[in-house]
Amino acid sequence: MKESKPRASKKAPFTLEAARAKVLAKVAKGGAKGAGSPVTAKTKEPELSLYGKALEELEAERAIYVDRNKEKPKYFAREFAPSIEGVAVKLEQYAARNHPKLLTFAELKKVLSKTEEAFAQRTLELLEADRRLVKLIRKTSALYACGDSLRALLRVESAQVEDSGEAIRRSYVELVRSTGFPDVEISTLQSHAGVPMSSLKDWLRVEHQNGRANFGVGDWSLASEAVRAGVIDLPGRTERYLWVRLED
């Protein structure tokens, strides 16, 4: 008597959840370089429609970022999406490395990727407002210098750090008293204290190292650009800290 061969198991149907999972895996593997579309010339229905729906949903949820500056879009995982603060850090650090040379906007942008260039103008405006970059005019040309480097050169001590520390703590206490919460947005603290954002961040990092400041991540996806400007990154960590709690 012949033994019956086991029936081949049917291939599981391709679903929207499967399409979403494949997209997220692809962009995660692409990292900071991003990834191309999961759709190829060989992709047929229903996979074609499901991938399209998955990409649309994930972008709407801000789970992925889509760069459409080129003919073919490039997809990034949320943590690798270009941001104003990420661009700001690059521009500020580039200006600091080139100090005392003054840089044009075109020279500053050389440090950015094509994707990041879309954020360059808005970022420059925020850096000027926070005095992280100082704009100087030579005839009809605008030139830029790193604010901290320029202040050090002119012996202006970043708003007198010691006095700034007192102003920051005083503002923190007032904000906690008015809101009833011990956690304060870093951007709100900067605005209330009236100190440069770069000076505030430097002071908070020192306070954190000494155990007198604890940071909270907040919700990056819901944060406005003004709130995101207060973000603090710590070495070896991927979190973006938007809140701070000061200890006595």
The answer as to whether 58 is a domain residue is: yes
Beta carbons of 23 and 58 less than 8 angstroms apart: yes
What pLDDT shows up at residue 65?
A: 84
Query: Residue 155 above 60 pLDDT?
Result: no
Task: Give the residue from 148, 67, 83 showing the smallest Cα distance to 120.
Answer: 83
CATH of residue 142's domain is: 1.10.10.10
Model confidence pLDDT, tens digit, residues 164-202: 788 899 899 999 999 899 999 999 999 888 888 888 898
Task: Read off φ and ψ for residue 79, nearest 5 degrees.
Answer: -70, -15
Model confidence pLDDT, tens digit, residues 199-235: 889 899 989 988 999 999 988 888 888 889 999 988 7
The answer as to whether 4 is a domain residue is: no
Which residue segment(s) compose the domain that 140 sits in?
84-153
Which parts of 123-163 are beta strand (E)?
133-138, 141-146
Model confidence pLDDT, tens digit, residues 49-93: 998 999 999 988 888 888 877 788 888 887 777 778 788 888 999
Conformation bin of residue 48: beta by default, left when phi > 0, alpha when psi is -120 to 50 = alpha
CATH of residue 60's domain is: 1.10.10
Structure token digits, residue 149: 């480097």
What pLDDT shows up at residue 30?
A: 86
Task: Give the residue from 146, 131, 142 showing the smallest Cα distance to 93.
Answer: 146
Same domain? For 91 and 74 the reply is: no
State the Cα–Cα distance between residues 18 and 109, nearest whole angstrom. Answer: 39
What pLDDT shows up at residue 214?
A: 94
Beta carbons of 185 and 226 less than 8 angstroms apart: no
Same domain? For 196 and 231 the reply is: yes
Task: Read off φ and ψ for residue 6, nearest 5 degrees.
Answer: -65, 140
Unique residue bearing structure tokens 């520390």: 165
What pLDDT shows up at residue 12?
A: 76
The count of structural domains within the chain is 3
Model confidence pLDDT, tens digit, residues 27-56: 888 887 788 888 888 889 988 899 899 999
Span 103-126, average pLDDT: 87
